[in-house]
């Protein structure tokens, strides 16, 4: 079983996208939370960077992603929870002998942070796969194929 991380194991999508929407609005790009979910969720940071630069019609400020990571880390420390029912699902998979892992558009650092905050990290130790390990990010299947091979 191959899980995505954000929105499947941990309930981070709403938290992180609220922050991204606020930061884009601060830069003068009027965007709603609904638009962000439609255009950004499940995409790599490289893809998001290009999309935002296009929306801005200029490169992002040098500190944009550092500021974003700082703000989202603080918000997640305060608000992040596992997706309801995921722990019981993982218990059932383990009891049935079904191997599982995570394949995410996020970096290893991000997965370790979010899974660590929610207490899920020990269940996935040694079984974290990121698009940073493959040539193409989602929606290409590369990260899932990589995870399945390993």
Task: Report pLDDT for 111.
Answer: 94
In terms of domains, do 97 and 118 share one? yes
In terms of domains, do 132 and 93 share one? yes
Whether 7 shows a pLDDT value over 90: the answer reads no
pLDDT band at 6, cuts 50/70/90?
A: confident
Cβ partners under 8 Å of residue 37, min gap 6:
13, 17
In terms of domains, do 7 and 20 share one? no
Query: What is the count of structural domains for the chain?
Result: 2
In terms of domains, do 6 and 18 share one? no
From 74-78, 80-84, 104-108, 120-124, the region with the lowest mean pLDDT: 104-108
In terms of domains, do 18 and 67 share one? yes
Q: Which of 50, 79, 108 is the last residue of a domain?
A: 79
What mean pLDDT value characterizes the chain? Answer: 92
Task: Determine the Cα angle at 145 with ends 139 and 150, to 5°.
Answer: 140
In terms of domains, do 37 and 25 share one? yes
Task: Report pLDDT for 47.
Answer: 84
Domain that holds residue 49: 13-79
Q: How far apart are CA 46 and CA 20, in angstroms?
A: 15
In terms of domains, do 71 and 17 share one? yes
Q: Which two tokens stand for residue 56?
A: 């801005």
In terms of domains, do 90 and 140 share one? yes
In terms of domains, do 49 and 68 share one? yes
Q: How far apart are CA 79 and CA 12, in angstroms?
A: 9
Whether 45 shows a pLDDT value over 80: the answer reads no
CATH, residue 99: 3.40.50.1000
The mean pLDDT value for 53-71 works out to 92
In terms of domains, do 39 and 98 share one? no
In terms of domains, do 62 and 108 share one? no
pLDDT band at 144, cuts 50/70/90?
A: very high
Whether 117 shows a pLDDT value over 90: the answer reads yes
Whether 40 shows a pLDDT value over 80: the answer reads yes
In terms of domains, do 26 and 74 share one? yes
CATH, residue 38: 1.10.150.240
Cα 24 to the center of its chain, rounded Å: 18
Q: How far apart are CA 142 and CA 121, in angstroms?
A: 23
pLDDT band at 48, cuts 50/70/90?
A: confident
The mean pLDDT value for 82-108 works out to 96
Whether 41 shows a pLDDT value over 80: the answer reads no
Task: Determine the Cα angle at 68 with ends 65 and 73, to 5°.
Answer: 125
């Amino acid at each position: 079983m191959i899980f995505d991380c954000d929105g499947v194991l941990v309930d981070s999508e709403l938290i992180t996208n609220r922050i991204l929407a606020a930061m884009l609005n601060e830069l003068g790009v009027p965007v709603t939370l609904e638009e962000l979910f439609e255009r950004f969720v499940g995409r790599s940071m490289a893809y998001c960077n290009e999309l935002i630069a296009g929306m801005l019609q200029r490169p992002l400020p040098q500190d944009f992603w550092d500021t974003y990571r700082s703000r989202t880390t603080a918000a997640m420390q305060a608000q992040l929870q596992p997706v309801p029912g995921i722990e019981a699902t993982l218990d059932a998979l383990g009891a049935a002998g079904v191997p599982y892992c995570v394949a995410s558009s996020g970096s290893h650092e991000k997965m370790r942070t979010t899974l660590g905050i929610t207490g899920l990290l020990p269940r996935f130790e040694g079984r974290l796969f990121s698009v940073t390990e493959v040539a193409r990010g989602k929606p290409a299947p590369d990260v899932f194929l990589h995870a399945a091979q390993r």
